[in-house]
Amino acid sequence: MECPSYTIATATKTSTDDTVNNQKHPFRVSVEGNIGCGKSTFIKHFGQFPQVDSHLEPVELWRDVQGQNLLELLYKDIARWNFVFQNFVQLSRLNIQTRSTDKRVQMFERSLQNNR
């Protein structure tokens, strides 16, 4: 689904044995897009609904890794910190996206497949 400011890249139904009222696994949606295109705003909108478990990128986590601002280090010396940063980002996304929920829909800002 293409929109002027964002793209919904993946929407995965994780169980084929679901009914509307007896869903075993949540419907998972990852929102992809460029920096500043409205991903967070889009997810926050749907996060107000009681059956949606919304997750924004944990930027605050990346800015405080045992007292170090990994995001700032990346911007200062990308050649030195890119590998470390990308691995930490991937691990933080994995931790968020594997949490269980009792809600029917999970929305994520960017997917595990996002890193290039």
Give the closest residue to 106 by CA, choosing from 38, 2, 15, 35.
15
Choose among 41, 45, 40, 46: nearest CA to 28. 46
Contacts of residue 50, defined as CB under 8 A and 6 or more positions apart, other chains included, come to 103
Half-sphere exposure of residue 99, counting CA atoms within 13 Å on the CB side? 16
Q: How far is CA 69 from the centre of its chain?
A: 20
Position of tokens 């986590």? 61
Q: Known catalytic residues?
A: 109
